[in-house]
Structure 1
Amino acid sequence: MKGHRETDFTYQAVYRYLTNLINELGADARVRLPSLRQLAERLNVSISTIQYAYSLLEKEGRVYSIAKSGYYALPMVSVSTLGDGDDLLETLYVNARRPGMLVLSGDEPASLQPLDSPLLLLERELLRQYPRASQHPLQPWGEQELRTALAARYTSSPSRCWSADDVYIGADLRGVLEILIAVLALKGNTVLVESPCEWTVLRLLQAADIRVIELPLLAEGEIDIEQLERLLANETVCLMVVSSVLSMPRGRLKSAADRRALARLLEQYGTWVLENDSHTELVFEPGALPFREWLDPDRLIVYSTFETTIGAEAPYGYVLSRQLTLMLQRHFLLRAFRLSPIRQKAIARLYNNGRIDQHLLVLRRLLRESAASATQLLRERVGNCLEWEEPEGGATIWVRSSRQVDLRRVFQRLLARRIVIAPGELFSTQGRYDQHFRLAHALDGVGGREAVFCALAEALRLEQS
């Protein structure tokens, strides 16, 4: 690293290295870590950079120091008993948050190439331009500059245009979806969802006492139009949740003909559409028209999050609607999200100066390469145990056991190896996909990924035998 001038963010690479090192040490004993000088020589960085990374880990409770002795890794506190109940999602959440776990259950595409450095640099510049004393009060629906940037990005024609007043920004995607459920008064009504469906959406609908009808996608990721027409003719469906271009968690593109036919049918029955736009910009081969381009904008609500493209520093969720203005304004006021205006301005600048589009070019390439590498390793290490669909976007692979197994037992076996996967039954309210699971392919280091896939193959073979 010393071959180049060290930047303010060199410590992040050192921090990640130390985190991986600590995770590999296990949880049973306090282990002495390499000295500042040893690590500085090993990683070819300054001692002060190592010191700063260690200080961050010390604040997080991952390490502690002893005078004249050095730094030691703290043993990991076991909280597995919190996740031993019957609630599979609770077990997953608890274990995914334990230190030292390799989390393959998540969907974090931006982790391969987060935009945190440019975002935080912009934020520091804006703090100098907008001292706190001169800042306007918090805007209840989000910062005007960011809402204007999003409205411009979603506008595609004079008839399919959006204004800043149609955009609402919340603290996270879950909070935004909860507001939508309240605004649409969905309690007791029937909602159609594509299946498999993200568990966040399913759990929120269930918690609101909404009747959910799952519409399983066909082998190519398309909707059975005839089955949907029968449902619409026989049921009073007030809303359908539809992915825009990429059906997740399967990671498959939906054909233009399928989306056009679906739009015509939903318009015929006057069904409102809630479009999930979270992964549209993560398609490996961009260019497909979003589903909303075939819909009446006045019967459409779009939701998404910045986190999938920018990273964890931008967790905000947002929604676009042209017809629910008063209700959305009221509920956002009542919810009283407190979002950093400077962070929102910084995100807006990333859109306005084209930095987001440059970033997406790199992120899509990295995701494609990661998916290709992961599927190749699957073929080599686990091929006779699993079947999978080649992803066409996103950061996950939808996998199926080639023989009947108890995937809950596989899940538990992997937890014992500190590996977390997402069992497929989480993506259905009706017990579907008990032979499937979602696997994150965006991992650091091919060597580590190979060991994980070997552990996965061993757990599956033990259950298949």
Structure 2
Amino acid sequence: MTLRGERQADFAYQAVYRYMINLINEVSLDTPAKLPSLRQLSTRLNVSISTIQYAYSLLEKEGRVYSVAKSGYFAWPVTANPLMAVGGDLLERLYAAARRPGMSVLSGDEPTLLGSLDSALLTLERQLVRLHPRHLQPWSQPCGVWELRAALAARYTSSPTRCWQADDVYIGADLRGVLEILIEVLGLKGKTVVVESPCDYLILRLLQAAGVRVVEWPWQADGSPDLALFEHWLRHESVHLVLLSSVVSMPSGHALPAYDQLRLASLLDQSGCWLLENDCFGELCFAPRQRAMRDLINPERLIVFSSFEKMLGPEAPFGYVLSRHLASELQRQFLLRAFRLSSMRQHAIARLYQSGRLDQHLEALRQRLREQAAAMSERLDVRLEGRVTYRMPVAGASFWLQSVAAVDMRQVFQRAVAQQVVIAPGELFSLSGLHHQHLRLSHTFNGQPNLDIALDTLAQALLQAQTG
């Protein structure tokens, strides 16, 4: 079978995606089934490995497949019932539940559901393909095309001393791949890393799988950081690296006050510790952009990572990293990974930056997110009154809720799934059992008729799962 020439209007990954859907539907319905490798599918379908990788990443985000390090991809059984494996892996059960048809999936944090640049991006890419025939394109740019790297360097430059060059930027196929490279390059196996908590479960699981000693730094009840505890760790633990968000910590939605930012920067400078800054939500603050941590930190001990997906949409899955140092090792690891990224897609993203189209989009997206959060807050106050407390989010597409009464949140999850509602229990965002009375709830449900029913279901599940 070949996909070249199939449905000329489609991009290759769309045809691969449809093929994979059909393949998944053919596998066993009782147990997870191993799927063909990237290389096998590339040979079978006569498309690039990067195209296969992108199609798999879409399927993984949809909860249709999951990956196992050094083993490949597996398809979830369609008829799998997450309620049967009460003691099983909670993240796997969440993915399985989200895949089932007819579910109200309230567990995500996908800002671009309210507006993406997918259409503009694909239009630009088609135009560029016509202007630059593929046989004239450089065949290998393992760290990303120069135009996009230069656009990102310009975006992150804030002063003559806090400036970036295109050679400081590295672009990978997705955020997971970039983070895996950083873990390897920084030599984090067996090292101590302080991580803000709650933290994205992708990051936590990658660190855990790599044998990193993770010390979780939880936010206090009033939304402020415990700087005394942080200083204690820097003084008495062999902290190799600190992982913090640039502006807003997600999913908690907390932003550091200016005073705490300055104090934190001072502590990091005194300790000589590296900062790994997560900028995935840095452009999505509802209020006027606040100062990022990187603008206060010694740039010689700073690495920044992010992705385009939260800003642009699923057609821009690439992850990237900025670092002034470790150039030879980063280049080596990107070469070894052999990311085969679409150069035209990267050029198209760069044009969005250069033309100002991205800034226009972000301004509109932030406005819609702010309005949607306000509307969701009104619903929460009515439907979950007396059941949860929360702070209004200042970025992103989700709320971080805490149960008023003591509950078994896993039981809340199970009861909600039984009524076709999927939430993300707070324990997913910790490796040490923190946040077991919390949950993440998406607010990007513009006009969904069943949202009130879903929230009523959640309120009932919280009542039924009380433990006190």
Contact 2:172 2:318 in 1 (8 A): yes
Aligned letter for 1:271? Answer: C
Aligned letter for 1:254? Answer: L
**Equivalent residue, structure 1, for 2:348:** 346
Give distance in 2, aligned partners of 1:98 and 1:348.
Answer: 37
Give distance in 2, aligned partners of 1:393 and 1:459.
Answer: 27
Aligned letter for 1:163? Answer: Q
Tell me, yes or no, if structure 1 residue 317 matches structure 2 residue 337.
Answer: no
Size of the aligned set, in residue pairs, is 393
**Equivalent residue, structure 1, for 2:220:** 218
**Equivalent residue, structure 1, for 2:413:** 411
Aligned letter for 1:209? Answer: G
Aligned letter for 1:366? Answer: R
Q: What's the offset of the Cα at 1:384?
A: 1.3
Contact 1:176 1:319 in 2 (8 A): yes
Aligned letter for 1:210? Answer: V
Tell me, yes or no, if structure 1 residue 330 matches structure 2 residue 335.
Answer: no
Aligned letter for 1:161? Answer: C
* Secondary structure of residue in 2 paired with 1:212: strand
Give distance in 1, aligned partners of 2:343 and 2:102.
Answer: 34
Give distance in 2, aligned partners of 1:82 and 1:462.
Answer: 16
Give distance in 2, aligned partners of 1:116 and 1:81.
Answer: 33
Contact 1:83 1:94 in 2 (8 A): no
String of CA shifts for 1:100-134, please: whole Å, max 9, x gaps.
32221111111110111111110110110111111
**Equivalent residue, structure 2, for 1:31:** none
String of CA shifts for 1:127-158, please: whole Å, max 9, x gaps.
10111111111300011111110000000111
* Secondary structure of residue in 2 paired with 1:397: strand
Tell me, yes or no, if structure 1 residue 178 matches structure 2 residue 180.
Answer: yes
String of CA shifts for 1:165-195, please: whole Å, max 9, x gaps.
0001111111100000000001111000111
Q: 1:301 aligns with which of 279, 303, 308?
A: 303
* Secondary structure of residue in 2 paired with 1:280: coil
Q: 1:432 aligns with which of 431, 434, 440?
A: 434
Contact 1:195 1:428 in 2 (8 A): yes
Give distance in 2, aligned partners of 1:423 and 1:291.
Answer: 28
Q: What's the offset of the Cα at 1:81?
A: 5.6
Contact 1:83 1:90 in 2 (8 A): no
**Equivalent residue, structure 1, for 2:156:** 154
Aligned letter for 1:79? Answer: A
Tell me, yes or no, if structure 1 residue 463 matches structure 2 residue 465.
Answer: yes
Query: Closer, same or farther in 2 for the Cα pair 1:222/1:324, shift >3 Å?
Result: farther
Give distance in 1, aligned partners of 2:340 and 2:322.
Answer: 19
**Equivalent residue, structure 1, for 2:263:** 261
**Equivalent residue, structure 1, for 2:45:** none
**Equivalent residue, structure 2, for 1:370:** 372
String of CA shifts for 1:436-458, please: whole Å, max 9, x gaps.
00001111315322121111112
String of CA shifts for 1:206-234, please: whole Å, max 9, x gaps.
10111111111123433211111111111
Aligned letter for 1:262? Answer: L
**Equivalent residue, structure 2, for 1:70:** none
Q: Max radius of gyration: which structure?
A: 1
String of CA shifts for 1:407-465, please: whole Å, max 9, x gaps.
10110111112221110011111111111000011113153221211111121122238
**Equivalent residue, structure 1, for 2:81:** 80
Query: Closer, same or farther in 2 for the Cα pair 1:206/1:87, shift >3 Å?
Result: same
Query: Closer, same or farther in 2 for the Cα pair 1:171/1:83, shift >3 Å?
Result: farther
Aligned letter for 2:461? Answer: A
Contact 2:83 2:414 in 1 (8 A): no
Q: What's the offset of the Cα at 1:83?
A: 7.5
Give distance in 2, aligned partners of 1:361 and 1:395.
Answer: 15
Q: Percent identity?
A: 56
Contact 2:372 2:446 in 1 (8 A): no
Tell me, yes or no, if structure 1 residue 201 matches structure 2 residue 196.
Answer: no
**More divergent stretch after superposition (201-210 vs 82-91):** 82-91
Query: Closer, same or farther in 2 for the Cα pair 1:329/1:83, shift >3 Å?
Result: farther
Contact 2:273 2:301 in 1 (8 A): yes
Give distance in 2, aligned partners of 1:80 and 1:139.
Answer: 44
**More divergent stretch after superposition (133-142 vs 158-167):** 133-142
**Equivalent residue, structure 2, for 1:134:** 136
Aligned letter for 1:274? Answer: L
Contact 1:127 1:342 in 2 (8 A): yes
Give distance in 1, aligned partners of 2:247 and 2:436.
Answer: 25
Aligned letter for 1:145? Answer: E
* Secondary structure of residue in 2 paired with 1:404: coil
Give distance in 2, aligned partners of 1:225 and 1:210.
Answer: 23
Query: Closer, same or farther in 2 for the Cα pair 1:347/1:110, shift >3 Å?
Result: same
* Secondary structure of residue in 1 paired with 2:321: strand
Give distance in 2, aligned partners of 1:274 and 1:399.
Answer: 27
Contact 1:82 1:94 in 2 (8 A): no
Query: Closer, same or farther in 2 for the Cα pair 1:351/1:220, shift >3 Å?
Result: farther
CA RMSD after TM alignment? 1.8
* Secondary structure of residue in 2 paired with 1:464: coil
Q: 1:360 aligns with which of 362, 371, 378?
A: 362
Give distance in 1, aligned partners of 2:448 and 2:79.
Answer: 28
Q: What's the offset of the Cα at 1:77?
A: 4.2
Contact 2:194 2:241 in 1 (8 A): yes
Q: 1:400 aligns with which of 382, 402, 405?
A: 402
Contact 2:304 2:321 in 1 (8 A): yes
**More divergent stretch after superposition (96-105 vs 275-284):** 96-105
Tell me, yes or no, if structure 1 residue 281 matches structure 2 residue 286.
Answer: no
Give distance in 2, aligned partners of 1:295 and 1:381.
Answer: 43
String of CA shifts for 1:285-332, please: whole Å, max 9, x gaps.
022111100011110000001000001111111000001101100000
Tell me, yes or no, if structure 1 residue 125 matches structure 2 residue 127.
Answer: yes
Give distance in 1, aligned partners of 2:99 and 2:173.
Answer: 20
Contact 2:169 2:321 in 1 (8 A): yes
**Equivalent residue, structure 2, for 1:30:** none
Query: Closer, same or farther in 2 for the Cα pair 1:327/1:397, shift >3 Å?
Result: same
Aligned letter for 1:99? Answer: P
Give distance in 1, aligned partners of 2:78 and 2:270.
Answer: 56
Give distance in 1, aligned partners of 2:421 and 2:458.
Answer: 9
Give distance in 2, aligned partners of 1:248 and 1:81.
Answer: 26
Q: 1:169 aligns with which of 168, 171, 179?
A: 171
Give distance in 2, aligned partners of 1:271 and 1:193.
Answer: 13
Query: Closer, same or farther in 2 for the Cα pair 1:146/1:82, shift >3 Å?
Result: farther
Aligned letter for 2:231? Answer: E
